[in-house]
Amino acid sequence: MINQAISILTGLIMSVSMTGCSYNSMKNDNEEKNVSQIQDVSIDDENILEGETLENIQITVNNINFTVTMENTQAAQDFISMLPITLEMKELNGNEKYCYISNSFPTATFKPNQIQEGDLMLYGSNCIVLFYDDFSTSYEYTALGKIDNPEGLKEAVGTGRIEINFKKE
């Protein structure tokens, strides 16, 4: 009986110590993977497409063309798949044009704290927003892209509603 208890106890101790070794090995592997993910991706989200580059798109505002470099998000890829599209965008706060669409996109939200002129974002899962002025914000968005050279964007969009054409380059 004592020999049987010692055998069981020895087996348990060996199992626990083996599990501890393999756990530490797995833990170290995961830590290394997490470090490399942090270096490669700024937003840790399942809707980020690592290693893929998306094509640029072009937007036309009052016959003026702007090139947009798209982000590596699933939402950006889904938006590109809808192109070409013309959206009637409404004015908001003297710094953005927005349009709710019927499609919903996957989100990878973040708080940018500072919006830059030329940012193309998704608010919620179905509101396309083009910012034409810099400002601070506490809202969350999913990045879609950014106009490469937004010079003249503010003048091009003007005030009030405007039609903006989005197409693949």
Residue 39 above 50 pLDDT?
Answer: no
The predicted pLDDT at position 169 comes to 87
For the chain, give every domain's residue range: 1-40, 57-168
The 10s digit of each residue's pLDDT in 137-162 is: 999 999 999 999 999 999 999 999 99
Q: How much is the pLDDT for 78?
A: 95
State residue 140's pLDDT score: 97
Q: Check: CATH 2.40.100.20 for 57-168?
A: yes
Nearest Cα residue to 73 out of 97, 102, 44: 44
Over the chain, what is the mean pLDDT?
Answer: 79
* pTM given for the model: 0.70
Q: Omega before 150 cis (within 30°)?
A: no
Reported as a single tens digit per residue, the pLDDT across 96-136 is 999 999 999 999 999 999 999 999 999 999 999 999 999 99
pLDDT of res. 27:
37
**pLDDT tens-place string over residues 59-108:** 999 999 999 999 999 999 999 999 999 999 999 999 999 999 999 999 99
95 vs 84: CA distance, rounded Å: 24
- Strand bridging mode 57-61 / 114-115: unpaired
Helix ranges, 41-167 (H): 74-81, 153-157
